[in-house]
Amino acid sequence: MKRRDFVGHVAWTGAGLLYVLGAEGIVRATADAAPSSFGFVQISDSHIGYTGPANGDVHGTLAKTVADINAMPAQPAFVIHTGDVTHLSKATEFDDARAILSTLRAPLITIPGEHDVIGVEGPKRYAAAFARKEAAGRGWSAWDQGGIHFVALINVGEGETMGMLGDEQLSWLANDLSARKPDTPVVVFGHVPLFAAAPEWGWTTSDGSKAIALLRRFKAVTVLNGHIHQVLEHQDGAIRFATARATAFPQAAPGTPGAKPGPLKVAPESLLGVLGYRTVEVAGRAAWQDRTLAEG
Amino acid sequence: MRTALLGAAALLALTAAAPASGPGAVVHIRDDHFIPASITVKAGDKVTFINDDDDAHTATADNASWDSEGLSQGQKWDHAFMKAGKIAYHCTVHPMMHGTIVVTAASHAMSAK
């Protein structure tokens, strides 16, 4: 299978079964993924500093996530944290998060969520803790690895702080993508979903359609986000969107009667089953798996 | 659904009718709303913002002139408003949350609407 088929044959697990997705949708189920030659891991929404009833030990669940990833027999090329590392952007929260994430065996990349850039000091603390030397503007970046063009976008900290890319970043993105051929597999990271997952709850990027327009000429695009603390998938032409579970606490599904966004308390024995991370393995095709902490 | 509708109605009633009285006014942050959403105080008065939600919130002036920064559940933040005028504010974590502070000359009485 050619590399450009990457997104056309994405897979993920549910209840231990691996589904392989073709252009027509789910076409077959297999017992396991193909051996991997390249892979990465997405973790998200750790909310270090949160002490409410939805998770009394966010340090512990992030540490368990790190331990599970460190125990993977083939270490990922990188681990990307897609934002809300902290809950209130406090210095001690960044210190605690760094202490846990620095124990990852694989290289760490982070992008901020709105909880990481609160107030005047939040962006400075985030930059001091996690800024990448390779980044441009307010922290966005792109790189090539494993035959894929990766783009890490920042859609917090602009305008009203959440759900906006801004013209400067869109201009940078247009320039970055202009040098890529249409058959280059592209994987885009961001915190807030680029698509309208639930605009009434702030689960969208107001100028995300402009970024999506720039991505349409590519044959295989995957956009991976956090922010909503649950796996939600969306397809728009050749662009596949997927949000990730949190390591801190779940949130209600959009459209749930009487629900609102925010920490959702579940039975303590069920918590690890709704927290998790995502592994993506690329070996001719990609095997995309959402794992819960209960499986670890 | 009926419970949800009743809850929304109660929230709207509270938003509209909550008094702002005493030595300083109080704005509660509850169920992703500022309550009351609009408040009138005298120049020099203090407003206390209290986060009643399990989620994090801020009270941040749209013109960036003041900012509570992050408030967790039960946390309070005070700010004294010295100049007369109308100031819009929002929550940076939940940009759909908006409120207004109207500051009148010191001789005007305090009220909420």
For residue range A210-247, list pLDDT tens digits in order: 999 999 999 888 999 999 999 998 999 989 899 999 99
Tell me which residue in B1, B31, B73 faces A260 most closely, judged by beta carbons.
Answer: B31
Which pLDDT score is estimated for A288?
66
Query: Closest approach of chain A CAs to the CA of B80, in angstroms?
Result: 18
Mean pLDDT of A106-120: 95
Sort out which chain B residues have CB atoms less than 8 A from A91's CB and list them.
none
* Contact across the interface for B95 and A162, Cβ inside 8 Å: yes
Which pLDDT score is estimated for A33?
41
Q: What residues of chain B, 13 to 52, have a C-beta less than 8 Å from chain A?
A: 31-32
How many domains, in total, are found in chain B?
1
Q: Taking all residues of chain A, what is their mean pLDDT, rounded to a whole number?
A: 85
* Contact across the interface for A263 and B55, Cβ inside 8 Å: yes
Q: Which helix (H) or strand (E) holds B46?
A: strand B46-51
Query: Closest approach of chain B CAs to the CA of A247, in angstroms?
Result: 16
For residue B108, pLDDT over 70 is answered with no
Q: Is B24 helix (H, G, I), strand (E, B) or coil?
A: coil
Query: Closest approach of chain B CAs to the CA of A178, in angstroms?
Result: 32
Q: Is B91 helix (H, G, I), strand (E, B) or coil?
A: coil
Query: Closest approach of chain A CAs to the CA of B45, in angstroms?
Result: 23
Mean pLDDT of B59-81: 95
More confident site: B55 or A286: B55
Which pLDDT score is estimated for A194?
96
Query: Closest approach of chain A CAs to the CA of B63, in angstroms?
Result: 11
Q: Is the backbone of residue A202 left (phi > 0), alpha (psi -120 to 50) or beta?
A: left
Which pLDDT score is estimated for A157?
84
* Contact across the interface for B92 and A118, Cβ inside 8 Å: yes
Which pLDDT score is estimated for A162?
77
How does DSSP assign chain A, residue by residue?
A: --GGGTGGGEEEEETTEEEEEETTEEEEEESSPPPPSEEEEEE----BT--STT-S-HHHHHHHHHHHHHT-SS--SEEEE-S--BSS--HHHHHHHHHHHTT-SS-EEE---GGGS-TTHHHHHHHHHH--TT-BTTTBEEEEETTEEEEE---BSSTTSBS---HHHHHHHHHHHHTS-TTS-EEEEESS-SS-SBGGGTBS-TTHHHHHHHHTTSS-EEEEE-SSSS--EEEETTEEEEE---SS---PPTT-TT--SS-----GGGGGGG-EEEEEEEESEEEEEEEEGGG-
For residue A255, pLDDT over 70 is answered with yes
ipTM computed for the complex: 0.79
Structural domains of chain A sorted by starting position, each given as residue range(s) with its CATH number in brackets: 3-12+37-295 (3.60.21.10)
* Contact across the interface for B54 and A52, Cβ inside 8 Å: yes
B105 inside 8 A of chain A by CB: no
Amino acid present at A31: A
Confidence of residue A158 (pLDDT cuts 50, 70, 90): confident
Minimum CA–CA partner of A115 in chain B: B93
For residue A156, pLDDT over 80 is answered with yes
For residue B36, pLDDT over 90 is answered with yes
Mean pLDDT of A43-67: 97
Query: Closest approach of chain A CAs to the CA of B2, in angstroms?
Result: 9
Instruction: Reply yes or no: is the peptide bond before residue A107 cis, omega within 30 of 0.
Output: no
> What are A174-185's pLDDT values in tens digits?
999 999 999 888
Which pLDDT score is estimated for A296?
64
Sort out which chain A residues have CB atoms less than 8 A from B3's CB and list them.
258
* Contact across the interface for B55 and A89, Cβ inside 8 Å: no
More confident site: A132 or B33: B33
Sort out which chain A residues have CB atoms less than 8 A from B55's CB and list them.
261-263
Sort out which chain B residues have CB atoms less than 8 A from A266's CB and list them.
none
Q: Which domain holds residue B79?
A: 2-112
Confidence of residue A135 (pLDDT cuts 50, 70, 90): confident
> What are B89-102's pLDDT values in tens digits?
999 999 889 999 99
Which pLDDT score is estimated for A244?
94
> What are B5-35's pLDDT values in tens digits?
434 444 444 444 344 444 579 999 999 999 9
* Contact across the interface for A160 and B31, Cβ inside 8 Å: no
Starting at the edge strand found earlier in the chain, the sheet holding A108-110 runs A108-110, A78-81, A38-43, A276-283, A285-292
pTM of the model: 0.84
Tell me which residue in B4, B32, B70 faces A118 most closely, judged by beta carbons.
Answer: B70
Sort out which chain B residues have CB atoms less than 8 A from A262's CB and list them.
32, 53-55
Query: Closest approach of chain A CAs to the CA of B79, in angstroms?
Result: 15
Mean pLDDT of A277-288: 70
Which pLDDT score is estimated for B24?
75
Q: Which residues of A touch B (CB under 8 A)?
A: 49-54, 87-90, 114-115, 118-122, 160-163, 200-202, 257-258, 260-263
Which pLDDT score is estimated for B106?
76
Mutation target to probe the B interface, by most B beta carbons within 10 A, among A48, A93, A118, A206 is A118
CATH assignment at residue B32: 2.60.40.420
